[in-house]
Structure 1
Amino acid sequence: MASMLSSHPHASPSPAARRFRPALLAVCLLAAGCAASSAVRRAGDAERRQDYDVAVVEYTKAVRLRPNDTNARLALDRAKLRASQAHFTQGRRFVSLARLDQALAEYEVASELNPSNGEIDDELRSTRNKLRTRVAVAREGKTELESLVERTRDLPPPGLDLPAGVKMPASLIFRDANSREVFTAIARLANISLIFDTAFRDQALTVDLRNASLEDSLNTVAGATRSFFRVTAPRTVAVIPDTPAKRREYEEQVVRTFYLSNADLKETMDLVRLVLDARRISPTTATNAITIQDSPERIAAAARLLAAIDKARPEVIIDVELLEVNRTKLLEYGLQIASAGTNGINGSAAIAANSAGAVTLHTLRNLTQSDVLLTAVPSLYYRLLKTDANTRTLANPQLRTTDGLQATARFGEQVPVPLTTFAPFATGGAPQQPITSFNYQNIGVNITITPRTHFDDDVSLQLNVSVTNISGTGFGGLPTFGNREINTVIRLRDGETNMLAGLIRDDERNSLEGVPGLSDVPLLGRLFAHNQKTTDQTDIILTLTPHIIRVLDLNEVDLRPFRLGRDSIAPITELPLPIEMPRPIAPPTGPTGPTGPMGVTGVTGPTGSIRF
């Protein structure tokens, strides 16, 4: 038993098993070959559908089943390159739409399919950096420079300022009060000193200053009394009559530099000069900045105005799809009788002459067939030819441009056209020396688009489409050009597609060459003549799809109007305090309290009452 067990593992296979083993191997190889062929067929179908990812998967299966199949390996490499290019193109599209997450995924797949492409690696690295920057900006809200501009935009110039945080009482109303006493009461409530110019004149006024700030209170009373105030020392205010002479005497000058990020330097300077009547303004082209020297009120107004106009322009991506179809038909048939080197019959007859090249009358009298020589005997050809050629050109560029700026796309080539001028050999001589230069003419399709965005997400496109071709030759063999041009303005929704078609050119040429008389015979004449018919057809289809990728960044402050007074009026305000004109009222009959600071119920003055 032990001997049987020890000898069993080394037992040779039976003859039946040896005969069955090759058949089993053949069946396995046949099954693998069928599976590989099916995978190759499915991959080819996917390639025709431009589904290159599926083609890569199927070709990979085929190569795994048939490792030695060179055609399958080449097809796999081709499918990988096409799939990589498709993902790379889609990634660029996502980048243009600011969808960086999806673009990064597309670039990673493209790099995995084609790791040796340096352009894909560069875009992948750039997209990762943009994503990191976006995350950092989203975390902080704004960049450091943007935050700095926001913080300093409304800061007052350094110098003497009014005390901050001072508000008038909730019951402060003046009725027919003396203006000097009103100013004095405000100064007492704010604990500041008050100085009146010698030219200041009193007048009666009625004004409501409840809960008003110190600056608003002084501005309101100064505006009602045609005066203005200046802080001349810490906690000291001077009240001056508002006249041009006093303005020049007390006016402060402030210098501020505004750095423009988006606005045009020249347009901004013109706007500030026209709207604010800025007296001293200077540009700095190197840093795109303007420096203004003026009063604090005008500097504050300039800051408000520049913040509203220094905005980034909207941006638009325009998907352009151009389809150009050319078709040429040629039909040629008939009998052609022509001498060598010519289109028709061009022969001659010669008579043998003597050694001197002369022919005598005796020779003509005895003329025989052997003395006559025919030259350029025409040949006889019968032509049958039909040609039908189709050409299709497809372009799908993306044009990214800023609102109001022109984007141009050209599809075609440039043809040199010689231009000859004559110049004298010497100064004052006759123009005899030719000088030839070349101008290059664009041939093909030229597209010029200028977008304009609207607040309702519409985009107006100022469109110019020009189709130029060589139509023939003119004087001296110079080319002549044909041109078809469209100028229009269309308004589309964001993402709406517009199709422009009808730029069709259809040229048909018919020619007939034959023997005069014989070719004019009805029906039979066309058989004994050379007939040629040429038809050229050109059709151009253009589709445009605009996508708004950046809109105008406006807020309520930019849209809210603000008041800018005259040279002799107080500074800009948004919500002025109510001012009442003086009107006669009966003096109060109740008891009056002593004059004094806050907490006193009322003060009786020489021209009326003051109530706290």
Structure 2
Amino acid sequence: MSSMLIRRAADLRAGAVALVLAGSFGCASSAGLRSAHRAEQALDYDRAVVEYTKVVRADPANREARTALDRVKQRAAQDHAYKGRRLAGLDRFEEAVIEYQLASELNPTDPQIDAALRDARQRLRTKIRVNRGGRTELESLIERTRDVAPPGLDLPATAKLPTSLVFGNGATARAVFMAIARFANLSLVFDPAFRDQPLSIDLRNATLEDALAAVTASTRSFYRVSAPQTITIVPDTPAKRREYEESVVRTFYLSNADVKEVIDLLRVVIDIRQVSAITATNAISIKDTPERIVAAAKLINAIDKARPEVVIDVELLEVDRTRLLEYGLQIASPGQPGISGSADVNRQNYTLENLRNLTAADIFMSGIPGIYYRLLKNDTATRTLANPQLRTAEGLAASAKFGERVPVPVTTFAPIAAGGINTQPITSFVYENIGVNIDITPRTHHDDEVTLALRVSLSSISGTGFANLPTFGNREIATTIRLRDGETNMLAGLIRDDERSVMAGIPGLSDIPLVGRLFANNHKETQQTDIILTLTPHIVRVLDLTETDLRPFRLGRDVGVTVPAIPGTLATPRDREEAPEVPSELTAPGAAPAVPMTTPAAAPAAVPPAPVFPQPLQGPMPGIPIPLTPPPPPKKGGGGTGQV
């Protein structure tokens, strides 16, 4: 009877202790809920999220706290998204990106927040690129001299041609050159080897450079500016090229491009022969023709760009395998067939009547890893092994190594003396990296996506072997993935099994076969862990391309003849609206009647009738001698000639 009373008293004491503990725990939980409610009523949703999270961690079975936590997270995300939109409207994109990031952390399944975050980041990069000021003196100097033409190509910038300039049947090349020289107020010189030939060409809306390029290309000739107002027309032959070829030397100072790659490109594309690198200043010097120098400048300006840069958030977690199963991730494990994800309604406070009017726009899908990843980070069974932020340029590998280096003895045998048989052991040590090794090489794309070439290895000392030498366990991932800017990717499946057996018993008796375990305490522990790697790339610098870099240009025959501009892609005629009006139309005989042309000169003079000038012109043309009497009419297929 007394023993029963003692047992009942013990049970009562235990129950009292349990009630006291439950009461204290309930009081703590109630206090946390009250604090969270006050923060929510004060519209301080960030504080409410913190308070409700504490309650959920302390009491995971509290459904009221879990529901309230989900509610305040949604409202806090909406609050931060509203602040982000307001800041973006004020062009304060740095602060807007921070607000959108907070909203995305609170509600990672909202596609509108993710889209707004990407848009804010893109606008921030554009703003930084446009407003980047404070150019150095060297940058300003290079910018000013980028389009400076080398000697030999400097035609008068003020020379204008008529907007309607047509040479029909019966015109000759010499007459066309002479007419262009008249309108441009240039002196014209023909090489003695130049041969006249019939030429019919339409030069309407052409600049002086385009007109000369078109005529020289049609007559297999080229021109050289031999004086400020004088051009020489030369037949395009190898001998004449060597005779009139002028060499120009120019030095290009590279800021981003590799000297060797630039030299290889110039030799292959433009056939630059005389080029040398100056490694001390990262520059190259080129000696070649003016045309090749201009082409080389365009190529160098297009490729001498800073590489895009990426910041990669890397987080390496070690998680108990049973924890992954509890959260339902089943990463890298056989799972049920079907679509992995969760469906939800994109509204709140739905009634049964509202559910009848649901449309496809009211339902959205969300992936599992983004949600449960945050739960795993807050779990006590999860351990963070490494959390670095790696910043690197495109095409360059970023490495991070965490751990220690363990010496491993290596023994070799060498003869004692030359020609001897006996050998002696020589021991040296090799250091092995034990821990986490991460190597990432990024590549950016024009659609704000990043390709990551990834290699992750985890090594540890798994035990000892012969002569107490260490044995190593290694887990390694090598893959290539493509992610959006700000997208988080999760990799898992590096499973590790640890099995431990402990036996404690009476010496001698515990060693008896078969029955020895009866006299011993046996403990066997099996632990399975998995490694989860998360990667989140952020593009912080993009390739700074301009329209000029994407615009094509022609090199011509042997890079020696300039070809007319491609309409719509190359430079258009300059300042046509500011050009002085020349009321003239040059046509060939038999064409529509031309309008008489006038010049500033007032004294009338007779001009020899030529096929390109069917009607008399008023006033002398500069640079062209005018005969007093007109010559006989030209024969069929011929044309007027001129001499300077």
Q: Where in structure 2 are the equivalents of 1:242-321 lying within 5 Å?
A: 242-321=236-315
The question of 1:409 aligning with 2:391 is answered no
The aligned counterpart of 1:419 is: 410
Structure 1 residue 226 displacement after superposition: 0.5
Q: 2:147 aligns with which of 154, 157, 160?
A: 154
1:482 aligned to 458, 470, 473, which one?
473
Q: Distance in 2 between matches of 1:509 and 1:484?
A: 20
Tell me which amino acid in the other structure corresponds to 1:222. T
Structure 1 residues 140 and 553, CA, compared in 2 at 3 Å: closer, same or farther? closer
Could you tell me which of 547, 571, 582 is aligned with 2:562? 571
Query: Aligned match of 1:446 in 407, 428, 437?
Result: 437
Q: Distance in 1 between matches of 2:511 and 2:140?
A: 93
Judging by fraction of residues, say which structure has more strand: 1
Residue 395 of structure 1 is aligned with which of 386, 404, 417? 386
State whether residues 409 and 446 of structure 1, in contact with CA within 8 Å, keep that contact through their aligned partners in structure 2. yes
The equivalent residue for 2:425 is 434
Taking a change above 3 Å as real, the CA distance of residues 590 and 140 of structure 1, as seen in their structure-2 partners, is closer
Q: 1: CA distance between counterparts of 2:267 and 2:152?
A: 26
Please state how far the C-alpha of 1:236 moved relative to its aligned partner: 2.1
Alignment of 1:84-483 (within 5 A): 138=131, 142-158=135-151, 161-176=154-169, 177-325=171-319, 392-429=383-420, 432-483=423-474
Instruction: Name the counterpart of 1:548.
Output: 539
Structure 1: gaps of 5 or more residues: 1-37, 47-52, 55-98, 106-133, 329-388, 579-584
Which amino acid in 1 is paired with 2:607?
A: P
CA deviation vs aligned residue, 1:213-269 (integer Å, no higher than 9, x gap)? 222221111000000011223322211111112111111111111111111111111
User: 1:141–1:528: structure 2 CA closer, same or farther, 3 Å change rule?
Assistant: closer
1:492 aligned residue? 483
Residue identity matched to 1:178: T
Report deviation, 1:557: 0.9
> By how many angstroms is 1:430 displaced?
5.0
Find the residue that maps to 1:503 and give its secondary structure.
coil
Q: Does 1:501 align with 2:492?
A: yes
- Cα gap change, 1:261/1:220 in structure 2, threshold over 3 Å: closer, same or farther? same
Mark the CA change 1:327 to 1:166 in structure 2 (over 3 Å): closer, same or farther. closer
Quick check: 1:326–1:392 contact (8 Å CA) kept in 2?
no
Mean Cα displacement is larger for which, 414-423 or 295-304? Answer: 414-423
One-letter amino acid of the counterpart of residue 416, structure 1 = P
Contact 1:247 1:568 in 2 (8 A): no
Q: How far 1:288 sits from its partner (Å)?
A: 0.6
Q: CA deviation at 1:574?
A: 3.7
Structure 1 residues 299 and 323 mapped into 2: Cα distance closer, same or farther (>3 Å)? Answer: same
Query: Contact between 1:297 and 1:572, CA under 8 Å: does it hold in 2?
Result: no
In the TM superposition, what is the alpha-carbon distance from 1:602 to its structure 2 partner? 4.1
Aligned AA for 1:552? L
- Over 3 Å counting, the alpha-carbon distance change for 1:267 and 1:548 in structure 2 is same
Point out the more displaced range, 525-534 or 216-225: 525-534
Instruction: Confirm whether residue 594 of structure 1 aligns to residue 607 of structure 2.
Output: yes
CA offsets, 1:489-548, max 9 Å, x none?
111110011111222211325577976995425xxx531356342434332221111100
Rate the CA distance shift 1:429–1:442 in 2: closer, same or farther, 3 A: same
Measured after TM superposition, the shift of residue 563 of structure 1 is 0.8
* Residue equivalent to 2:86: none
Q: Provide the aligned length of Structure 1 versus Structure 2.
A: 426
For residues 140 and 422 of structure 2, the distance between their equivalents in structure 1, rounded to whole angstroms, comes to: 68
Q: Is the 8 A contact 1:242 1:568 kept in 2?
A: no
Cα distance between partner residues in 2 of 1:219 and 1:499? 60
Please report how far the alpha carbon of residue 173 of structure 1 lies from its aligned counterpart in structure 2 after TM superposition. 0.8
C-alpha separation in 2, matches of 1:545 and 1:205: 65
Maintained 8 Å contact 1:416/1:440:
yes
1:582 alignment counterpart? none
Change (3 A) 1:438 1:327: farther
8 Å contact kept, 1:197–1:241: yes
Residues of 1 paired with 2:290 and 2:315: CA distance? 55
- 1:414 offset after TM fit, Å? 1.5
- The amino acid that maps onto 2:498 is D
The answer on whether the counterparts of 1:222 and 1:228 sit within 8 Å (CA) in structure 2 is: yes
Offset at 1:397?
A: 1.4
Query: SS of the residue aligned with 1:169?
Result: coil
Which amino acid is the alignment partner of residue 259 of structure 1? Answer: Y
**Cα separation, partners in 2 of 1:232 and 1:327, compared to 1, 3 Å:** closer
Distance 1:288 1:573 in 2: 35
Once the two structures are TM-superposed, the CA of residue 488 in structure 1 deviates from its matched residue by: 1.1
Q: Give the RMSD, CA atoms, in angstroms.
A: 4.2
Counterpart among 521, 527, 539 of residue 530 in structure 2: 539
- CA distance in structure 1 between the aligned counterparts of 2:303 and 2:153, rounded to whole angstroms: 30
CA gap 1:139/1:485 in 2 versus in 1, 3 angstroms: closer
Letter in 2 for 1:258: F
| Letter aligned with residue 545 of structure 2 | L
Relative to the length of structure 2, the TM-score reads: 0.58
Counterparts of 2:297 and 2:466, CA distance in 1: 65
d(CA) in 2 for partners of 1:485, 1:574: 56
Q: Which has the larger radius of gyration?
A: 1
CA displacement, residues 148-180 of structure 1 (integer Å, 9 cap, x when unaligned): 212101101246732221111123211131111
Conserved 8 A contact 2:312-2:536 = yes
- Per-residue CA deviations over 1:62-113 (Å, capped at 9, x if unaligned) read xxxxxxxxxxxxxxxxxxxxxxxxxxxxxxxxxxxxx99879x9xxxxxxxx
- Change in Cα spacing, 1:428 to 1:272, as seen in structure 2 (3 Å) is farther
